[in-house]
Amino acid sequence: MVEAVVWGVVAALSLVIGAVLGVARSWRDGLVGGVLAFGAGALISSVAFELAQEGLQKGGPVPVAVGLALGAVTFFVADRAVERIGGRSGGGASGLPLALGALLDGIPEQAVLGIGLAAGEGVSVALLVAIFVSNLPEGIGSASDMRAGGKSRRQIVLIWVAVAVVCALATLGGYALADVAGGSLKAGIDGFAAGALLVMLVDSMVPEARRKAGRRAGLVTVLGFAVAAGLSNLT
C-alpha cells in the first residue's frame, strides 16, 4: 500500500510542476499553444495505447464503450457547469476546463495504476514518463490561462495541488479495489478516462492550441503523439 501511495504521488506531481511553471513566468501565446498541442498529441496517444487498447484487452468492447459514454457525458456536464460560473467568459475561471479534464482523466488512470500494483504487475517507467509528458502541458496551459483570467498564483497552485492530491488518492483507491475489480470494471475505468479525455481534447485543448499556435499546432500535435506512443510501446 505504501508503494501505491508513493507512485501515486510521483504520477500526480507532474500536474503541480506544470502549474508552477505556468505561473512562474509569462508565456507567449505561441509557446503556450505549442505546449498544449504537444500535450494534446500525447493525450491522444494515451487514449489509443494506454486506455482504449488495454481496456479492450482486459474486458472487451462493451465495458469500454459504456465507460467511454459515461466519461464523455460526465466531462460534458461538468464542463457546462464550469462555463456557467465563468469558465469561458472571464470571471477568473479561465483554464478550469483543462484542470477538470486532468481530474476526470487522472482519477481513473491512477486507479488503474493502483490496481496494477496490487496485482503485482509493478510500475512501467515508460508509462510514468508518458504521464509526465501529457500532464505538464495541461498544467502549464491551464495555469497560464487562469493567470491571464485574473486568478492569483496562490489560487492557481492550490487548485492544481488539490487536483494532484485527489488523483494520488485514486491510486490508493485502486489498490484497495484490486481484490474486487474484475476485467470488466478495469475496462470500464479505462473507457471512462478515455471518454473524458476525448471530449476535453475536442472542446478545449485542441481549439485553444490552434488559436494560440496557429498552423504549427497540427505538426506539434503529431510530435507529441509520436513521443508518447514511443514511450507507451517501450514495454
Burial of 90 (0-12, 13-18, 19+ CB in 10 A): exposed
Residue % of the chain over a pLDDT of 90 = 16
Q: Is the pTM of this model over 0.85?
A: no
pLDDT score of 85:
62
Reading the block at residue 106, the C-alpha cell is: 487522472
Of these ranges, 38-47, 52-61, 65-74, 189-198, the one predicted with the greatest mean pLDDT is: 65-74
Length, in residues, of the chain: 235
| Cβ-contact 186, 55 below 8 angstroms | yes
* Distance (Å, whole) CA 169 – CA 171: 5
In this predicted structure, the answer to whether residue 226 has a pLDDT above a threshold of 80 is: yes
- For residue 161, the model assigns a pLDDT of 92
Q: Tell me the C-alpha distance between 200 and 137, whole Å.
A: 14
pLDDT for residue 114 is more than 60: yes
pLDDT value of position 106: 76
Of the two residues 11 and 201, the one the predictor is more confident about is 201
